[in-house]
């Protein structure tokens, strides 16, 4: 499976560890922190003065346009999104865009704090605090994809 990791820079270490584990399980993973793949990596620290920016003029900055296009490219490439919580608005928009494109969504957090939830998490195919559930879900999703491909070939060649 091709997986897009959506999260926060605050979780960068966890994102990198999870991406590596998923790769060890034979998945292709886009990790927004990893420029070794040739990916454009954008970090908020590249912006000089936040106090002069708002949502409208921020999107006119070349770096933010490049980051948007890069993230969209990788979401479009992926079969689904693993949203690692806690995460901010951007990661949640990425997850929503992916679901709208018909991709699967897995939401994972090691421990869900009481009082933090959202009804729109109903779009998720899986919400869990157990990483083994994530890998099991992906393994089953991968098997179904192979099965569907075989079925498609059989339909063409009866």
Name 6's Cβ contacts closer than 8 Å, sequence gap at least 6: 32, 81, 82, 83, 84, 87, 90, 91, 92, 94, 95, 98
pLDDT computed for residue 23 by the predictor:
96
Instruction: Give the CATH fold of the 2-156 domain.
Output: Rossmann fold (3.40.50)
In this predicted structure, the answer to whether residue 149 has a pLDDT above a threshold of 60 is no
Question: Domain locations in the chain?
Answer: 2-156
Using CA atoms, how far residue 112 sits from 68, 117, 144, in Å, is 29, 9, 29
Predicted confidence (pLDDT) per residue in 28-61, tens digit: 999 999 988 889 898 777 777 777 788 888 888 8
Confidence of residue 24 (pLDDT cuts 50, 70, 90): very high
C-alpha 3/C-alpha 52 separation (Å) is 35
Of 149 and 107, the structure prediction assigns the larger pLDDT to 107
pTM of the model: 0.87
Q: What is the pLDDT of residue 51?
A: 76
pLDDT score, position 147: 46
Pick the more confident residue, 135 or 149. 135
């Amino acid at each position: 499976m091709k997986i897009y990791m959506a999260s926060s820079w605050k979780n960068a270490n966890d994102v990198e560890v999870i991406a590596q584990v998923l790769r060890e399980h034979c998945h292709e993973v886009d990790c927004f922190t990893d420029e070794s793949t040739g990916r454009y990596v954008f970090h908020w620290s590249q912006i000089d003065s936040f106090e002069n920016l708002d949502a409208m003029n921020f999107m006119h900055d070349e770096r933010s346009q490049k980051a948007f296009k890069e993230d969209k490219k990788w979401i479009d490439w992926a079969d689904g999104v693993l949203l690692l919580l806690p995460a901010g608005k951007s990661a949640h928009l990425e997850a929503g865009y992916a679901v709208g494109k018909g991709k699967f969504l897995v939401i994972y957090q090691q421990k869900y704090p009481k009082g933090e939830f959202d009804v729109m998490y109903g779009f998720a195919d899986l919400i869990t605090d157990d990483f083994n559930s994530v890998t099991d879900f992906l393994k089953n999703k991968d098997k179904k994809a192979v099965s569907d491909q075989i079925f498609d070939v059989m339909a063409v060649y009866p």
